[in-house]
């Protein structure tokens, strides 16, 4: 016990000597305060623990200090200073080492640190350190590029939807009298429980829903126009990205499609790289985005890619739908900090947020709180707690402000004081207005909060919103442009979308499962019809079964692949078309033609295996005509699948219709039924299986026999013409169906 006491005393004595030594070494004129017995300096105002020292104002260099000459120095910095430690005994050194191992740091006061030393300590400041969103380092801040400032105002916004039932229709009110405003340089957050109308309001403000059923929305005192699309960025709640493209490819394609024509390809690519570094994505720029079945970037990085897709055009307005959903608290905080950087560049940022942490909540400039489509609060986020306290709703325990506000929006008053006005309204024994624990029911709370806002705040806010803004006429006029401007010409759009589609789908086309399926089927067919070629009618009849199977297989396979094309890409098409990234015609042609090179490889492999194993006609011309006929069948079948998928836009319905259609075409293909009744004979002219089967018979047996298996072999012109008509006709039907598809943007 004595050894322990003497060791502690020695530690304190030597600590005092170290303080004096530092004061002398630094040239400070003020003496350091003596160390008290309770482990504090100068009367116990500052403790020795790191935790306590951080609580003090100015405990970290780079922040406001407690005095002009008082600066906190961490132990890690103190360890770098050179002292004469010859007089320090081994016991003191051991004690000091023990203190260091426990993570203790000493706060010294009473001396002045030279400016150059303070500069060296700057990296310890949490505010000045450019931290990465997850584990890297954000090397660049969001560039403060000049942009058109847009002042957004919305007054008495209402929105209703018509719900059609089996026997009747009814209207459902989604939003009721929502008012508010947000200026350039501000971040407006919309909070509320699920189903409160946050996303609907965001879509209305962002122009994704055509127009509200009531109220007004203005941008620099002007109504919404389709010309505003080029000045608006909209980040959806779901991360809609191509999983097989890398981060750099995703942002580069977006830059080439969306940035103005006047920029060269190299300038657009440079802008994409700048955004990558601004968002801290340089470590994963060559990593695939990934998806449900493909490993890729993390959730936070994926969300930043979505934000990058929008800020790449330097928008004046940026809308985000729950950008922190699914992210951990640290990543969510850094994401919101990115939004602050964007706002500081003169942009207007509006975001919905579900349940932010307390740190996130204090990052917002303005707040809208919604409850069942009604406005419960609009104003500064920092004043929200003060307002609800003024109407008698205060938390009884320490809690996250956001959690408290969401409880109120849900009508939950647990651990919340009940306003006296609300208690008067609740009658004892009235089960409709009171819950089992004696608290008012959620409906009563909701009614009270709406009424309180309308009587106390709403009128004054409406007066502010109705007052005309002092905006230059030039700013108002710049909202509208003379004509719609695309980021690239039609051919450039087609070229960019073609290569993007080729890169995205090559992984699906050349998957081992698909290759194995085709090769295994070809080998089985080759073994079943092994060297079955011959000139006799019986041999030709047997081999005709193989040719019919080829027509059926390559007429069935592409249909059920193409059916999923537009239903699966509907979200991406909806998002990109809403942002005016490209013309629909350029997308459609690029989407359908980018599949052609990929569709040609597997059929060639299939025919190579089957043709020589089955002993079909050994002639180069016959071989290439067989490949060409098969390819023509594939393109026609693809057209049918695209038309069905684009028309129904529902995978289950499309699959059902395609199954019936393909089965009908197969039965009418000329192999199972030779004599089709006249009243249904027209089916053969719609069946690509029948046309392909006749062409294959013509290629193989034209020189041998005019009739094979009861089918007359003609010159093939009629069959080729019919298949070509199907190729273009089905695709035209698919394009018209896409044209009729309604986008959220109302175009």
Q: Which residues contact 116 (CB under 8 A, 6 or more apart)?
A: none
Cβ contact 258:579 at 8 Å:
yes
At 615, the pLDDT band (50, 70, 90 cuts) reads confident
Same domain, residue pair 448 and 539? no
Cβ contact 658:560 at 8 Å:
yes
Task: Determine how β-strand 711-712 pairs with β-strand 707-708.
Answer: antiparallel
Q: 165 or 245: which carries more pLDDT confidence? A: 245
Q: Which residues contact 123 (CB under 8 A, 6 or more apart)?
A: 129
Same domain, residue pair 451 and 547? no
pLDDT tens by residue, 313-322: 999 999 999 9
Distance CA 627, CA 479 (A): 56
Same domain, residue pair 625 and 552? yes
> What pLDDT score was predicted for residue 246?
95
At 158, the pLDDT band (50, 70, 90 cuts) reads very high
Same domain, residue pair 579 and 459? no
Same domain, residue pair 306 and 405? yes
Residue 257 has pLDDT above 90, yes or no: yes
Residue 67 has pLDDT above 70, yes or no: no
Residue 502 has pLDDT above 60, yes or no: yes
At 209, the pLDDT band (50, 70, 90 cuts) reads confident
Residue 736 lies inside a defined structural domain of this protein: yes
Cβ contact 532:620 at 8 Å:
no
Distance CA 641, CA 653 (A): 12
* Domain's final residue, options 419, 453, 468: 468
Which residue range is the domain that position 210 belongs to? 152-244+288-430+438-468
Distance CA 395, CA 418 (A): 10
Residue indicated by tokens 């109220």 = 215
Residue 730 has pLDDT above 90, yes or no: yes
Range 176-199 average pLDDT:
93
Domain count, the chain: 2
Describe the crossing of helices 584-593 and 717-740 by its angle, rounded to 10 degrees. 140
Q: Which of 81-85, 261-265, 401-405, 495-499 has the lowest mean pLDDT?
A: 81-85
Residue 25 lies inside a defined structural domain of this protein: no
> What pLDDT score was predicted for residue 44?
40
Cβ contact 163:363 at 8 Å:
no
Q: What is the DSSP letter of 433?
A: T
> What pLDDT score was predicted for residue 140?
55
> What pLDDT score was predicted for residue 292?
81
What percent of the chain is predicted at pLDDT more than 90? 44
Distance CA 19, CA 740 (A): 80
Same domain, residue pair 594 and 718? yes
pLDDT tens by residue, 355-407: 888 999 999 999 999 999 999 999 999 999 999 999 999 999 888 999 999 99
Residue 42 has pLDDT above 60, yes or no: no
Give the CATH number of the domain where residue 414 resides: 3.40.50.300
Residue 136 lies inside a defined structural domain of this protein: no
> What pLDDT score was predicted for residue 102?
37
Q: What are phi and psi of 387, to 5 degrees?
A: -65, -50
Average pLDDT, the chain: 79
> What pLDDT score was predicted for residue 703?
66
Residue 270 has pLDDT above 60, yes or no: yes
Burial of 229 (0-12, 13-18, 19+ CB in 10 A): buried
Residue indicated by tokens 């890169």 = 503
pLDDT tens by residue, 424-471: 766 544 545 555 566 788 888 888 999 999 988 878 887 788 777 777
Count H helices and E strands in the chain, helices first. Answer: 28, 13
* Domain's final residue, options 414, 449, 468: 468
Same domain, residue pair 589 and 444? no
Same domain, residue pair 731 and 626? yes
Q: Which residues contact 169 (CB under 8 A, 6 or more apart)?
A: 162, 163
Residue 379 lies inside a defined structural domain of this protein: yes
Describe the crossing of helices 620-648 and 688-701 by its angle, rounded to 10 degrees. 180
Q: 599 or 194: which carries more pLDDT confidence? A: 194
Same domain, residue pair 463 and 549? no
> What pLDDT score was predicted for residue 489?
93
Same domain, residue pair 344 and 422? yes
Q: Which of 477-491, 542-556, 575-589, 591-605 has the lowest mean pLDDT?
A: 477-491
Distance CA 564, CA 521 (A): 23
pLDDT tens by residue, 102-112: 333 333 333 33
pTM of structure:
0.75
> What pLDDT score was predicted for residue 470?
74
Distance CA 88, CA 118 (A): 28
Q: Which of 223-227, 500-504, 663-667 has the lowest mean pLDDT?
A: 223-227
Residue 592 lies inside a defined structural domain of this protein: yes
Q: Which two tokens stand for residue 414?
A: 């647990």
Residue 260 lies inside a defined structural domain of this protein: no
What's the chain's length in residues?
Answer: 747
Angle, alpha carbons 166-170-171 (nearest 5°): 145
At 28, the pLDDT band (50, 70, 90 cuts) reads very low
Cβ contact 66:56 at 8 Å:
yes
Range 408-417 average pLDDT:
88
Same domain, residue pair 332 and 190? yes
Show contacts of 594-600: CB within 8 Å, 24+ apart. 594/497, 594/498, 594/499, 594/501, 594/502, 594/505, 595/501, 595/505, 595/638, 596/635, 597/502, 598/502, 598/505, 598/506, 598/509, 598/510, 599/509, 599/558, 599/631, 599/634, 599/635, 599/638, 600/631
Residue 143 has pLDDT above 80, yes or no: no
Q: Which residues contact 631 (CB under 8 A, 6 or more apart)?
A: 599, 600, 603
Range 700-707 average pLDDT:
71
Cβ contact 236:206 at 8 Å:
no
Q: Among 28, 26, 71, which residue's Cα sits nearest to residue 46?
A: 71
> What pLDDT score was predicted for residue 110?
37
> In Å, what is the CA distance from 679 to each residue of 134, 210, 225, 684, 718?
69, 48, 54, 11, 21
Cβ contact 331:374 at 8 Å:
no
Q: Which element (helix H / strand E) includes 179?
A: strand 169-182
| Radius of gyration for the alpha carbons in the chain, expressed in angstroms and rounded | 36
Same domain, residue pair 578 and 443? no
> What pLDDT score was predicted for residue 435?
57
Residue 263 lies inside a defined structural domain of this protein: no
Residue 539 lies inside a defined structural domain of this protein: yes
Range 325-338 average pLDDT:
88
Angle, alpha carbons 317-261-149 (nearest 5°): 20
Q: Among 466, 470, 477, which residue's Cα sits nearest to residue 148?
A: 477
Q: Among 219, 327, 293, 295, which residue's Cα sits nearest to residue 306?
A: 327
Helix (H, G, I), strand (E, B) or coil at 275: helix
Residue 468 CB coordination number (10 Å): 6
pLDDT tens by residue, 565-598: 999 999 999 999 988 899 999 999 999 998 888 7
Helix (H, G, I), strand (E, B) or coil at 377: strand
> What pLDDT score was predicted for residue 734?
95
Residue 18 has pLDDT above 70, yes or no: no
Q: Which residues pair with 164 in a beta bridge?
A: 169
Helix (H, G, I), strand (E, B) or coil at 33: coil
């Amino acid at each position: 016990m004595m050894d322990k006491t003497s060791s502690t005393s020695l530690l304190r004595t030597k600590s005092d000597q170290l303080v004096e030594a530092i004061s002398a070494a630094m040239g400070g004129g003020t003496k350091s305060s003596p160390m008290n017995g309770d482990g504090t300096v100068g009367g116990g105002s500052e403790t020795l623990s790191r935790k306590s020292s951080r609580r003090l104002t100015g405990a970290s260099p780079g922040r406001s200090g407690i005095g002009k000459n008082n600066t906190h120095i961490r132990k890690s910095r103190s360890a770098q200073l050179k002292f004469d430690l010859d007089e320090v005994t081994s016991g003191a050194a051991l004690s000091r080492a023990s203190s260091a191992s426990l993570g203790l740091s000493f706060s010294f006061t009473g001396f002045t640190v030279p400016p150059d030393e303070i500069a060296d300590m700057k990296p310890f400041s949490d505010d000045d350190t450019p931290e990465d969103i997850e584990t890297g380092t954000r090397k660049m801040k969001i560039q403060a590029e000049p942009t058109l400032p847009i002042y957004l105002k919305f007054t008495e916004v209402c929105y209703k939807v018509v719900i059609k039932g089996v026997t009747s229709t009814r209207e459902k009110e989604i939003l009721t009298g929502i008012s508010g405003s947000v200026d350039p340089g501000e971040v407006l957050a919309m909070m509320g429980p699920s189903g409160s109308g946050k996303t609907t309001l965001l879509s209305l403000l962002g122009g994704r829903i055509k127009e509200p059923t009531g109220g007004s929305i203005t941008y620099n005192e002007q109504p919404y126009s389709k010309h505003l699309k080029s000045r608006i960025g909209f980040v959806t709640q779901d991360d809609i990205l191509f999983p097989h493209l890398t981060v750099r490819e995703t942002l580069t394609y977006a830059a080439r499609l969306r940035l103005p024509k006047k920029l060269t390809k190299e300038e657009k690519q440079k802008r994409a790289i700048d955004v990558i570094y601004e968002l801290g994505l340089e470590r994963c720029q060559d990593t695939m985005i990934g998806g449900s079945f493909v490993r890729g970037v993390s959730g936070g990085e994926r969300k930043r890619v979505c934000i990058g897709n929008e800020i790449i055009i330097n928008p004046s307005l940026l809308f985000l739908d729950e950008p922190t959903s699914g992210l951990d608290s640290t990543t969510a905080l850094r994401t919101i900090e990115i939004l602050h950087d964007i706002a500081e560049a003169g942009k207007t940022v509006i975001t919905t947020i579900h349940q932010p942490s307390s740190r996130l909540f204090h990052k917002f400039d303005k707040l809208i709180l919604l409850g069942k489509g009604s406005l419960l609060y609009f104003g500064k986020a920092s004043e929200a707690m003060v307002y609800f306290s003024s109407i008698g709703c205060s938390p009884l325990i320490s809690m996250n402000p956001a959690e408290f506000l969401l409880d109120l929006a849900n009508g939950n008053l647990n651990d919340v004081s009940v306003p006296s006005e609300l208690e008067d309204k609740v009658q004892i024994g009235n089960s409709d207005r009171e819950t089992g624990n004696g608290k008012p029911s959620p409906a009563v709370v909701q009614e009270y909060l709406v009424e309180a806002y309308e009587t106390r705040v709403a009128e004054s806010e409406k007066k502010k919103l109705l007052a005309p803004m002092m905006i230059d006429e030039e700013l108002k006029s710049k909202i509208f442009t003379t004509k719609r401007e695309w980021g690239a010409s039609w051919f450039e759009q087609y070229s960019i979308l073609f290569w993007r589609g080729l890169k995205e789908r090559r992984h699906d086309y050349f998957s081992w499962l698909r290759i194995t399926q085709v090769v295994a089927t070809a080998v089985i067919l080759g073994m079943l019809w092994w060297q079955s070629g011959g000139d006799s009618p019986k041999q030709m009849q047997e081999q005709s079964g193989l040719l019919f199977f080829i027509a059926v297989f390559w007429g069935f396979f592409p249909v059920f692949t193409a059916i999923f094309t537009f239903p699966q890409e509907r979200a991406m098409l909806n998002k990109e078309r809403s942002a005016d990234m490209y013309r629909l015609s350029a997308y459609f042609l690029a989407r359908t033609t980018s599949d052609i090179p990929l569709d040609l490889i597997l059929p060639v492999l299939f025919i190579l295996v089957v043709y020589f194993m089955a002993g079909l006609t050994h002639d180069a011309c016959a071989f290439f005509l067989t490949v060409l006929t098969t390819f023509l069948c594939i393109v026609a079948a693809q057209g049918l699948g695209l038309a069905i998928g684009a028309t129904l836009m529902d995978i289950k319905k499309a699959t059902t219709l395609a199954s019936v259609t393909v089965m009908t075409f197969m039965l009418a293909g000329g192999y199972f039924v030779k004599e089709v009744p006249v009243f249904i004979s027209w089916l053969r002219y719609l069946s690509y299986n029948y046309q392909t089967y006749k062409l294959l018979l013509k290629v193989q047996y034209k020189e041998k026999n005019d009739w094979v298996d009861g089918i007359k072999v003609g010159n093939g012109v009629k069959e080729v013409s019919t298949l070509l008509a199907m190729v273009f006709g089905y695709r035209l039907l698919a394009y018209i169906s896409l044209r009729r598809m309604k986008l959220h943007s109302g175009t």
